[in-house]
Amino acid sequence: MPAGVSWPQYLRMFSASMLAMFAGAQFVHQYYLPDLSIPETPPRPGELQTELLGYKVREEAAATLQQLAANQKVD
C-alpha cells in the first residue's frame, strides 16, 4: 500500500488532488489569460527586434534639435 493507506483511499486522494490541480490551472489561465503575443516558433537570428523604440525616437529628436540649434547659431 502506498503511503500506508489502502489502494481505494490512495486512488481517491490521487484523483482528488489531480482534479484540484487541473481546476486551479484552468482558473489561473481564465483569470490571467496567457500571453498570446509570444510566437509558437522562436524567431530566426536577426529577426528579433529588441530596440527601445521610444528611446530611439527621443534620441533622434534630440539630435535634430541640436542640429537646428547649431544651424541657427551659425546664421
Has residue 75 got a pLDDT over 70?
Answer: no
Residue predicted with more confidence, 75 or 56: 56
Q: Report the SS3 class of residue 31.
A: helix
Residue predicted with more confidence, 34 or 20: 20
Question: Buried b / exposed e across 22-55, counting CB within 10 Å, b at 16+?
Answer: eeeeeeeeeeeeeeeeeeeeeeeeeeeeeeeeee
- Segment 34-44 mean pLDDT: 77
* pLDDT over 90 percentage in the chain: 35
pLDDT one-digit tens code per residue, 4-31: 999 999 999 999 999 999 999 999 999 9
